[in-house]
Structure 1
Amino acid sequence: MEAASHHLTRVLSHGMNADAVISDWPALTSAEVARVLQHYPQAGTPKRLVWHSPRPFSAGCVMTTSTMDVFVKRHHLSVRDVAGLSEEHGFVNHLRSRGIAVSEVLTTVDGATAFTDDHWTYEVHGVAAGVDLYRDAVSWTPFSSSVHAHEAGKALARLHLAAQDYAAPARKAQTLVSSFTIFSQPDPLPALQRYIERYPAIADYLKDRDWRGETVGTLLPFHKQLLPYLDELTPLWTHNDWHASNLLWSDRSTAAGVQTILDFGLSDRTCALHDLATAIERNVIEWLAIQAGKTDAVHPDLLDAMLDGYHLLRPLTSRQWLALAALLPLVHAEFALAELAYFHGVTRSANNAALAYDAYYLGHAAWFNSAEGQQLLARIAQRAAAG
């Protein structure tokens, strides 16, 4: 392997704030992609590298070949190994078999969906149909229309219906997976202790923090609200990163529908309400604007449209609406810890590690005590009255 090729080029990627930063990971090169595609016979002969992904946690690019366009994604081995990617690809292939439009996962000559070379793990997908309308949108960018929100809600409901008969166990412990094993428990603190012990980087970061006291003060009051509804959290494999930029659209208009669902990197066995709460957290609340001191950073029109679309195809009961409202302040917490493990243990960014713990783990939950946060929760809970 030409190790030098990994140190040549870095691209601008989305930072943790609303800024572009130099990517943590070296950009994929044409020569590297050509080597990767030798393992994937149906991918054809590489012709031209046409785009680099700005996503921060891995390196990705689109390559035009003699037979198709492919999306090649490279992870550091400390983030994803072949077994970890195979869990995700199993879910994608199940959804595909149930008629859900997802990108095709290509297989190597020996039938694997990923392979490791040196300290990198690679996966290759066929570029899916649809317009990448939100390609350059940073995290927590809202939908550009209520129709997009409504269509995204319907697409999420269809995914959940298709996932109901997928019985794979939850993913193994690995960083950057949006699991739901702490606040889904009647007593979250022992579960939190176990979670921290599984990730040495988190334990190391928190050794000088009063994480128990901070969790009790900020997160457990919300967990108390969720406690009566834990029986509504039926285990289900879910997407866990339902953002407009992970969807391809039928056209460029504000009336476009969802054509393809992308990026199952955070998927795991959580529950439908966790996934729906994540969709609200990702698309309705402009967290980066809130961090910058902006008010009016919540979009109730988009919330209503997305929930209406979801309810149309997968109706929620009164108790489920109340459970969704109770779950929302906690929905980012466990993934914030996964990000902490990544930033402290893999990229070793003190700034981003602090952001993951203080702004995401504690801060996002604390915001729901604000007037805007309370109004948003009330708006969701009000749906319980309608049944």
Structure 2
Amino acid sequence: MEAASHHLTRVISHGMGTEPVISDWPALTSAEVARVLQHYPDAGRPQRLEWHSPRPFSAACVMHTDAGEIFIKRHHVRVRDVAALAEEHRFVEHLYGNGLPVSTALRTAEGASALADEHWTYEVFRLAPGVDLYRDAMSWTPFSSGAHAHSAGRMLARLHQAAQGFDAPARAARPLISSFTIFSQDDAVRPLQAYIEQRPAIADYLAERPWRGEVAQHLLPFHDKLKPYLDEMVPLWTHNDWHASNLLWSDATPQAQAHTVLDFGLSNRTCALFDLATAIERNVIEWLSIPHRAEQLIHLDLLDAMLDGYGSLLPLSARRLQALAALLPLVHAEFALAELDYFHGVTHSQQNAALAYDAYFLGHAAWFNTPEGQRLLTHLHRRADALK
């Protein structure tokens, strides 16, 4: 992993399990942020660095300036270059123009929405309004109340309404981007092979693995169940990381409403049901608790609240609910491969690469054959049956 010698400070970060770890990426320093903000005429003069983000795939912080609170995020250029961030920023600007509460990227003096400096790429935002209730929550942490789940579902429907008309093509092959190009096809094997060939790090990792047999065992049976519903997968640019921690909230109570949508780093052209299935996968299933217990891993009350919130703006037919149930076991698979690409090709963590392949790519799908996984899918089918 490349790293500049003058960026040595590390912070405590969220790992891939329940325990915090030392961050992969050096923490942003006051001097570094000051140098970056010189390129942003609207950012103000830096006064003090307030906070470092614990998120693992990039480095981010809040800087207090004489123009207010500024959020700065830094990526390694192999993860995001200026062109990749510009794709995200154009989508966010489209959503903003259609009334969704999002924070648009500040522009440099040259009019760019991202800045390249050595092997780093930066993006800069005004701190968005709202309470960061889930700031310290790990991925796959459930909502803390049904009201939060309902409001998050309704906000996701608002995003899907606002995304209409954004017709940019799907993003190029990069690490850590969600996509829906493999299991959205009638024949998943050929696009899976193409996905791997476009990403040399994945091809290298899988060279010694019997991956074709593992995919046939764990994933293709679910794909067979999804195929009758592929006509419901209408292409749409989506968020693809709909977790409570990517929302800011109206207040700190259990009745708080979603106020601002954050973090479009995984956004891409997928479809509305893919985004909704991702929201279920992120907020309803306690994946990190699986090593410790086999039961009480799902929150059906939160699932119902989120679907009720979504359906209050975009009603879900019985067939779309059936399609959602068919998609859910596969929804994390493609991003798990993107994580494998990152861990094997960028950070060179064999432990995390194995986790991405065995636990996420294969294991998340296989979990849906367990009693808890089946209980979740049965619940969705019962919701669908109630509408017939």
The 1-side partners of 2:47 and 2:148 are apart by 34
The 1-side partners of 2:210 and 2:262 are apart by 38
Residue 251 (structure 2) aligns with: 251
- Which residue type is aligned with residue 22 of structure 2? I
Residue 118 (structure 1) aligns with: 118
Residue 78 (structure 2) aligns with: 78
The 2-side partners of 1:3 and 1:307 are apart by 46
Matches within 5 A, 1:8-157: 9-157=9-157
Displacement of 1:3 after TM fit?
4.3
| Residue range with higher mean Cα deviation, 327-336 or 158-167 | 158-167
Displacement of 1:143 after TM fit?
0.2
Structure 1 gaps, min length 5 = none
The 1-side partners of 2:196 and 2:5 are apart by 36
Matches within 5 A, 1:1-387: 3-7=4-8, 9-387=9-387
Q: Is the 8 A contact 1:5 1:29 kept in 2?
A: no
- Which residue type is aligned with residue 75 of structure 1? H
Q: Could you list the runs of 4 or more consecutive aligned residues of structure 1 that deviate by over 6 angstroms after TM superposition?
A: none
Query: Alignment partner of 1:132: what SS?
Result: coil
| Residue range with higher mean Cα deviation, 104-113 or 254-263 | 104-113
The 2-side partners of 1:276 and 1:207 are apart by 33
The 1-side partners of 2:294 and 2:384 are apart by 30
The 2-side partners of 1:153 and 1:366 are apart by 26
Displacement of 1:132 after TM fit?
0.2
Q: Is the 8 A contact 1:140 1:287 kept in 2?
A: yes
Query: What TM-score comes out, normalization by structure 1 length?
Result: 0.98
- Which residue type is aligned with residue 163 of structure 1? A
- Which residue type is aligned with residue 218 of structure 1? H
Q: Is the 8 A contact 2:294 2:372 kept in 1?
A: no
How many pairs does the alignment contain?
385
Give the CA RMSD over aligned residues. 1.0
The 1-side partners of 2:206 and 2:352 are apart by 14
The 1-side partners of 2:315 and 2:130 are apart by 27
Give me the identity figure in percent: 68
Deviations 1:166-197 (A, max 9, x none): 11111111110001100011000000000000
Displacement of 1:297 after TM fit?
1.1
Query: What TM-score comes out, normalization by structure 2 length?
Result: 0.98
Q: Is the 8 A contact 1:249 1:259 kept in 2?
A: yes
- Which residue type is aligned with residue 295 of structure 1? E
CA shift in 2, pair 1:3/1:340, >3 Å: closer
Displacement of 1:386 after TM fit?
3.2
- Which residue type is aligned with residue 315 of structure 2? P
- Which residue type is aligned with residue 289 of structure 2? A
Deviations 1:99-118 (A, max 9, x none): 10011310101111001110
Deviations 1:291-312 (A, max 9, x none): 3334201100000000010011
Structure 2 gaps, min length 5 = none
| Residue range with higher mean Cα deviation, 115-124 or 375-384 | 375-384
- Which residue type is aligned with residue 153 of structure 1? G
The 1-side partners of 2:342 and 2:270 are apart by 20
The 1-side partners of 2:124 and 2:212 are apart by 41
Displacement of 1:383 after TM fit?
2.0
Q: Is the 8 A contact 1:89 1:113 kept in 2?
A: yes
Query: Alignment partner of 1:295: what SS?
Result: coil
Query: Alignment partner of 2:225: what SS?
Result: helix
Q: Is the 8 A contact 2:91 2:166 kept in 1?
A: yes
Q: Is the 8 A contact 1:150 1:308 kept in 2?
A: yes
The 2-side partners of 1:5 and 1:81 are apart by 21
Q: Is the 8 A contact 2:27 2:52 kept in 1?
A: yes
Q: Is the 8 A contact 1:287 1:297 kept in 2?
A: yes
The 1-side partners of 2:317 and 2:137 are apart by 33
- Which residue type is aligned with residue 338 of structure 2? A
